[in-house]
A and B are shown apart, each in its own frame.
Chain A
Amino acid sequence: GQQVMQIPQYQHVQEGEDFTTYCNSSTTLSNIQWYKQRPGGHPVFLIQLVKSGEVKKQKRLTFQFGEAKKNSSLHITATQTTDVGTYFCAGGTSYGKLTFGQGTILTVHP
């Protein structure tokens, strides 16, 4: 079955440093979505990418979808303590099913 892998599993940064998490799918995706889950909370939707090579920005966050639509990345510039949480990518293939990666846990030291 479809697998979605994320690396790294953990990332510890100093406030102000950049952060990147990578997502790879075993199959070609129709779309990829990114979610953030704060400790003790539930996943919250961040963004959806649909087109090959697509790049989207949300303030300090930059999301990319690979040309082959099998990989994606999330980059945060100048991290802040409010960025703490687990970032999940979720790949969509067959209609309506999203497969989540195992997430990258980000900690930010002030």
Chain B
Amino acid sequence: DAGVTQSPTHLIKTRGQQVTLRCSPKSGHDTVSWYQQALGQGPQFIFQYYEEEERQRGNFPDRFSGHQFPNYSSELNVNALLLGDSALYLCASSRDGSNSPLHFGNGTRLTVT
């Protein structure tokens, strides 16, 4: 039973570029949440997808967007990258969108230079 998988594991981008991160949820999970974790900080909620729609959103600008596919996998897109976007991006899946426990992937380490 595969857990949450994220790709790529590491990524280096230049300011102003765009990036797409991918996530496959744990088998049996239909809800995907994305978090940004800066070094030494707690995960910050970006948004949550359920039934292919963004259901909740944190305090992140519109440069951050996402998508959920019919197979429940998800993408996080970030446009016009800033140095401050450098962080670990964590995808977490859960069941039926309620406050059920989150299962996190290993994350994508994004470095913006």
Contact = CB atoms under 8 A, between A and B. Distances in A.
A6 to B, nearest CB: 8
B58 interface: yes
Given A31-B99, A88-B42, A102-B42, A96 B107 contact: no
Interface in B33-57: 33, 35, 41-45, 48, 50, 55-56
A63 B31 CA distance: 26
Contacts of A88: 42-43
A82 interface: no
Interface in B68-101: 90, 92, 97-99, 101
Contacts of B45: 97-100
Contacts of A94: 56
A72 interface: no
Contacts of A44: 104
B2 to A, nearest CB: 15
B30 to A, nearest CB: 12
A-B pairs with lowest CB-CB distance, top 10: A100-B42, A92-B99, A45-B101, A42-B104, A97-B56, A102-B42, A100-B43, A96-B97, A103-B42, A43-B104
Nearest to A42: B104
Contacts of A42: 90, 104-107
Contacts of A95: 55-56, 97-99
Interface residues of B, number: 26
A75 B56 CA distance: 32
Contacts of B11: none
Contacts of B42: 6, 88, 100-103
A96 B104 contact: no
Given A45-B103, A94-B56, A98-B33, 6 more contacts: A30-B99, A43-B102, A88-B42, A95-B99, A98-B99, A100-B44
A110 interface: no
Interface string A67-92: 00000000000000000000010101
A5 B41 CA distance: 12
A63 B75 CA distance: 34
